[in-house]
Amino acid sequence: MADLAVRELPLFPLPDVVLFPQEVLPLHIFEPRYRMMLRTVMDSDRRFGVVRWDPQNQTCAPIGCCAEILHCQTQEDDRSNIVTMGQQRFRVLNIIREAPFRVAMVSWLEDEPPAEPEALEQLSGDVRTALRDVVDLTGKLVGKPSELPDDLPDLPRELSFWIGAHLGGPVADEQQALLELTDTRARLQQEMDLLDQTRRQLAARTVLKQTFQDIGSDGAEPSPSA
């Protein structure tokens, strides 16, 4: 059955977690209210909304991502381990119930059709190159070759979601901003800027590392003569 444009959706707020479409998110469900939520969604379409929770301001982000339960294993104490995958993004229109768990009325969020598809494909290719450079340079720095996954998305929108989900470090603010964009080109451009900055930093560190290695090699004592 096709999804309605507006629907009720149980919400699962998570501190500094931003779920992107097509990304896997394992969760451990232990609070009583979320155990109840889990039973409810398992009896319906196995979907709930993941929204970023700001502990400092005690607020939820206005845009989140619907999670579909792929696997659920409930233990004897009623705690559950579940594996979910991100589906559509949504905008929270209003909270319609707070107890026993939060339920919101949401509308689905989609990217706008690209105005210049060829330019978008070119940018997507540039982003893939920058991503590959970052992975290669990181591997050289740590002394362990790294490779991109074989299933890296080809389509620009899906690629932008993948990169957003795999940004390293404490970058929940940046991830939330990327999730909320409805322009694929703008999302890829922001990611290109981040990747290019990282690439430059890694390249500089690689040169510095090689310089110190060369100095150490030049300053080595000669082996004693036989």
Q: Is the pLDDT of residue 217 over 50?
A: yes
CATH fold, domain 6-109, is 2.30.130
Q: What is the pLDDT of residues 10-62, one digit of tens each?
A: 999 999 899 999 999 999 999 999 999 999 999 999 999 999 998 888 899 99
Please give the model's pTM, rounded to 2 decimal places. Answer: 0.87
- As beta bridge partners, residue 104 has 9, 95
pLDDT given for residue 147 in this prediction: 84
pLDDT at 214 over 90: no
Average pLDDT of the chain is: 90
Q: Tokens in use for 127?
A: 């982003």
Residue 71 has pLDDT above 80, yes or no: yes
Cis peptide before 100 (omega within 30 of 0): yes
Question: To which residue do tokens 């969020």 refer?
Answer: 109
What per-residue confidence (pLDDT) applies to 57? 86
Predicted confidence (pLDDT) per residue in 195-209, tens digit:
999 999 999 988 877
Condensed to tens digits (0 to 9), the pLDDT of residues 152-190 reads 999 999 999 999 999 877 788 999 999 999 999 999 999
Q: What percent of the chain has pLDDT over 70?
A: 92
